[in-house]
A and B are shown apart, each in its own frame.
Chain A
Amino acid sequence: RRDVHNATRVPFGVMIPVRVSHNQSIGPGVVPAGVDPAYDAQYANHKGPVAHVGANGFGRPFSVAPGPITHTQTPYVTGTTVLGMKYKDGVMIACDTLGSYGSTKRYKNLQRMRVVNAKTIIGFTGELSDFDYIMTLLDELNTNDYCEDDGKELSPKEIYSYLCRVMYNRRNKFDPLWNSLVVAGLMKDGTQFLGTVGMIGQHYTDSHLAAGFGNHMARPLFREKHTDDMSEPEARALMEDALRACVMRDKSMMNKFQIAKVEFGKAPTVSEPFAVATSWDYEKFKNPSEFAPGTW
């Protein structure tokens, strides 16, 4: 580093200026080393630009974390499965209201389904903070729509396509948004829309969908019993059946659900929380080790 107390004061923050020659014979250019000893003496103690590394000698500047740039590796506050199905009057999605923190049931009032605009609803599984960021992005889309003020707003399929691109591009940067999303709504041509996007950008549309554990427990039931022209009570009964199967077998789920639906000609609604009936009075549960001590 330069000694700032020498006679020739250099303005603060400036490196040693390169000595430019205006000699007509060699033309403009930097004076090479060895030509001007006084100038070279200034370089004797000069250190080159310092590479900015972390406190440990490697890694990013101003970081204590070692190694290369790392992003989200594990989720922290998570939501479990979301189920969705189309029916005659519209489309409905359902999930529980639990936000788990690892193996703790931490947030029991979490709304995992949100209304996006007058025709679209969205539900998430996975990390809560990443979903809040996604809602911020969707909010920006809505603001743009509002500012355009042309009476049109984004259709569910457009929101779904936008989210597919967001999730895939984040995955390509090795910094995924740790969510599986279910997007549901009504299209202008009078059809329902139901699609899912995952954290690596995989996406799929169908008449009935699930994200997370529901793929194993609820999809078999939907495949057996779902038809596109179910009435609303039938669809709700099938949805509650699937929710019961999921909550009986998913350890990170609780018996407190909401159903969000978009119906033709009505605004999207998210229902009040409810529980499904469970039965525990099977004979074989009463005394399982009656004939075989050590069994439970």
Chain B
Amino acid sequence: SFPRSIRIRRAPSRDAPPTMAHSMRDDPDAGGFNFDNVRRNDMLRGTGLHFKNAMKTGTTISGIVFKGGVVLGADTRSTNGETVADKNCEKIHYIAPNIYCCGAGTAADTEAVTGMIASNLELHRMATKRASRVVTALTQLKTHLFKYQGHVGAALVLGGCDANGPHLFTVYPHGSSDALPFATMGSGSLAAMAVFESDFKQDMTETEAKELVARSIRAGIFNDLGSGSNVDLCVITQSGVQYLRNHETPNERTYVRSKGYDFPPGTTQLNRRNFMTASSASLPLNETVIISEGSPEDAMVM
């Protein structure tokens, strides 16, 4: 036990109720990082608890600045471990009418963080009565991700056109960003980057840029196990946005049974027959529904 002379006691303030520990819950306005749960988490890890990993997207996303705008591309496979969770998910997220963001990493994190920044920017547009700028979205994303020190697993390719021209940024889960003419992220980023390093040129036309981005996503789809299915594109120029959902579908299902499927009677073995008539059964087949409030049309809406 410690000698009396070095025992430290916190003098309880007169107004505060007698509490055991001063934690963030007692003072929610205090800034900075909240480390309340660190000791608890370490103790849990010591007892052998393994924290479940969040679902990752395993992705190829890419973007290019061309003459007059930005083209973003993404594959559509979402993986949960070794299983494909969603064959045709959307990885290009809306941020503003002139700003879109591709997301790689943990699916929930990319959805939540891009949705949050999109809502913030909408309020900001209403307050300032101006179109949003890409750097606004960039700064909000960066500060949010840095605050969570990489635990929010969102790796983003952010692109858009604003008053200062076309912009393309990458944002990493720890909160750093790059401003680049071409960018790729995700597990298929090396395959996509190989295509860009080989064939990127300054000031391409829109058609060339779309074809190059589609090629880079296809390289990710066919050379990376974490990416697959279809190619989504999003072309953003000063005049507007073209969201090309499933722009290419190079993985169509090839086998379809030409004869179709017809099963003659007797295909399934009957074990037991049990007939009930409406009168013999006590099933409430005719029931009157009384609408207590609202109009009858509301009952039709699911």
Q: Is the CB of B198 within 8 A of A241?
A: yes
B177, CB-defined interface residue at 8 Å: yes
Choose one: B138, B180, B193; the contact of A284 (CB below 8 Å). B180
Cβ-defined contact, A221 with B181, below 8 A:
no
Contact of A219 with B by CB under 8 A: yes
> Which A residues lie within 8 Å of B181 (CB)?
282-285
* In the complex, residue of chain A having the shortest beta-carbon distance to the beta carbon of B177: A295
A207-240 CB contacts (< 8 Å) to partner B: 216-221, 223-224
Of the candidate stretches A53-61, A242-250, A262-270, the one touching chain B is A242-250
Q: Interface size on A (CB < 8 Å)? A: 26
Contact A216 B169, beta carbon cutoff 8 Å: no
On chain B, the residues within 8 Å of A241 by CB distance are: 198
Question: Are A217 and B190 neighbours in the complex by a CB distance under 8 Å?
Answer: yes
B178 touches A296 (CB 8 A): yes
What are the residues of chain A within 8 A of B134 when measuring CB–CB?
291
A271 at the interface (CB under 8 A from B): no
B202/A216 in contact, CB under 8 A = no
B197–A223 touching, CB < 8 Å: no
- Tell whether, in the assembled complex, residue B197 and residue A296 are in contact, meaning their CB atoms are under 8 Å apart: no
Q: How far is the CB of A246 from chain B (nearest CB, A)?
A: 8
Residue interface bits A17-42, CB-to-B below 8 A is 1, else 0: 00000000000000000000000000
- When C-beta atoms are compared, the residue in chain A nearest to B202 turns out to be A282
B77 interfacial contact with A, CB 8 Å: no
Within the complex, the shortest CB–CB distance from B146 to chain A, in Å, comes to: 10
Q: How many whole Å from B302's CB to the nearest CB in chain A? A: 45
Distance between Cα atoms of A292 and B65 in the complex (Å): 17
A residues near B65, Cβ cutoff 8 Å: 283-284
Q: Is the CB of A220 within 8 A of B202?
A: no
For window 250-296 of A, CB contacts with B under 8 Å fall at 281-285, 288-289, 291-292, 294-296
Contact of B194 among A221, A284, A289, A291 (CB under 8 A): A221
A244 cross-chain contacts in B, Cβ below 8 A: 197-198
B142 in the interface, Cβ–Cβ < 8 Å?
Answer: yes
- B167 contacts partner chain A, Cβ-Cβ < 8 Å: yes
Given contacts A244-B197, A245-B198, A291-B164, is CB(A216)–CB(B178) below 8 Å?
Answer: no
- Which residues in chain B, 81-105, are within 8 Å of chain A measured between CB atoms? none
B191: contacting residue among A220, A282, A288, A291, CB under 8 A: A220
Sort chain B's interface into a size bin.
Answer: 20 to 34
| Chain B residue nearest in CB terms to A287 | B179
For the residues of A in contact with B, the DSSP-based class is helix
Output the least CB separation between B250 and chain A (Å).
Answer: 13
| Complex Cα spacing A236 to B287, Å | 80
CA distance A294 to B141 in the complex (A): 13
Q: B195 to chain A: which residues have CB within 8 Å?
A: 220-221, 224
Q: Does B223 contact A (CB under 8 A)?
A: yes
Inter-chain contacts of A221 with B (CB < 8 A):
194-195, 198
Q: Is A292 in contact with B135, judged by CB distance below 8 angstroms?
A: yes
Take A219-B223, A221-B198, A282-B202 as given contacts and tell me if A292 and B180 are in contact as well, using a CB distance cutoff of 8 Å.
no
In the complex, are the beta carbons of B193 and A217 less than 8 A apart? yes
CA separation between A282 and B201, bound complex, in Å?
A: 8
Closest chain A residue to B171, Cβ basis: A295
Q: Which residue of A lies closest to B223 (CB)?
A: A220
Q: Please give, as numbers and ranges, the residues of chain A lying within 8 Å of B191 by CB-CB distance.
A: 216-217, 220
Q: How far is the CB of A239 from chain B (nearest CB, A)?
A: 12
Q: Which residues on B sit within 8 Å (CB–CB) of A291? A: 133-135, 164, 167, 179
Judged by a CB distance under 8 angstroms, whether B168 is at the interface is yes
Query: A292: which B residues are within 8 A, CB to CB?
Result: 135, 138-139, 169, 177, 179
User: B143-163 CB contact bits vs A (8 Å, 1 = yes)?
Assistant: 000000000000000000000
Cβ–Cβ < 8 Å partners of A224 in chain B: 195, 215, 219
Contact B197–A245 (Cβ < 8 Å): yes
Give chain A nearest CB distance to B176 CB in angstroms.
Answer: 8
Q: Which residue of A lies closest to B166 (CB)?
A: A284
- Judge whether B243 is part of the interface by a CB distance below 8 angstroms: no
Q: State in angstroms the CA–CA spacing of A281 and B180 once bound together.
A: 12
In the assembled complex, 8 residue pairs joining A and B whose CB atoms fall closer than 8 Å, in A order, are A220-B194, A220-B219, A224-B195, A224-B219, A281-B202, A282-B202, A291-B133, A294-B139
Spell out A's residues near B (CB within 8 Å). 216-221, 223-224, 241-242, 244-245, 248-249, 281-285, 288-289, 291-292, 294-296
Cβ-closest 3 pairs across A and B: A288-B179, A284-B181, A216-B190
